Structures are given as structure tokens and as C-alpha cells.
Amino acid sequence: TALRFLKRPTLAESRLRSALEIAATVGVPLTEAESCRDIALLFADTGRSGEALGFIDRALALFTQLGATLDATALSERRTELLAA
């Protein structure tokens, strides 16, 4: 997200968690998956790999259910990188 790139991780996390909660409540799995992915990338970028992996796993499950193969593949590669670090 833009806030992640602008080096405002606290605000980015807050906004992404809100988006995730709304998407889950309303039932929009693509937005939920994207929010999980973005939170995971934010956490990975800020040294919170353990937390990142949980959100990656959730996003992977959602992307897989949606048939979003490219997103799932890219995220799976990122997961492998985090586990290797």
C-alpha cells in the first residue's frame, strides 16, 4: 500500500486491519486476501516475520479458493523466502 511505501507502517497497519475486518464481515474474499497479503508484506518489511507468516498463510488459502493462481504463486515464493531467512 502507499502508506507502507511512504514509511508510515503504524498507519498502514491500522488501515489494512480495518480493511481486512470490513472485507471479512461483508464477505469480500478478494479484498480480504489482498489485505492479508499487504499486512504480511508490511510485517515482513518491518522485521515481524513470524506475524507475517500467519497472514501469508491466510492470504494463500483465500487466493487458492478464488483461483488466483498468480497471486498465490507470488505469495508462496515470498513465504519460502521468509522461512529461509
Kind and range of the H or E run holding 24: helix 9-26
> What SS3 state is found at 48?
coil
Residue in the block written with cell 507502507: 4
List the beta strands (DSSP E) in 18-82.
Answer: none
> What SS3 state is found at 20?
helix
pLDDT tens, 21-40?
999 999 999 999 999 999 99
Q: What is the pTM of this model?
A: 0.90
What whole-number distance in Å separates Cα of residue 43 and Cα of residue 37? 10
Choose among 34, 39, 23, 29: nearest CA to 66: 29
Residue in the block written with cell 507502517: 9
pLDDT tens, 48-82?
999 999 999 999 999 999 999 999 999 999 999 99
The amino acid present at 73, given as its one-letter code, is: T
